[in-house]
Amino acid sequence: MSELHDKGEQIYNRQILPQLPIDKLKGKIIAIEIKSADYFIENTVLKAVMLGRKRYPQQKFYDKRIG
């Protein structure tokens, strides 16, 4: 796996997942900006990443389906 994937999974599982209402967000996409651990949730990968790029235009994002 890549460093981006590993770091993204770590942030998701340790910092984000415990506070997400999974029952309401299951099936949506989360895009995580790795350096800040800020995240964006949308219905598609494209929408989630584009939303993130508005705030972090030069950064890479780790994305995954919630649930």
Report how many domains make up the chain. Answer: 1
Q: How far apart are CA 37 and CA 61, in angstroms?
A: 10
Contact in structure between 63 and 37 (CB atoms under 8 Å): no
Instruction: Using 70 as the pLDDT threshold, list the residues of the chain that sit under it.
Output: none
Contact in structure between 50 and 9 (CB atoms under 8 Å): no
Structure tokens at 48: 């989630």
- What's this model's pTM, rounded to 2 decimal places? 0.92
Domain that holds residue 59: 3-65
pLDDT at 1: 78
- Would you give the distance in Å from CA 10 to the centre of its chain? 11
- By C-alpha distance, which of 36, 25, 14, 18 is closest to 65? 25
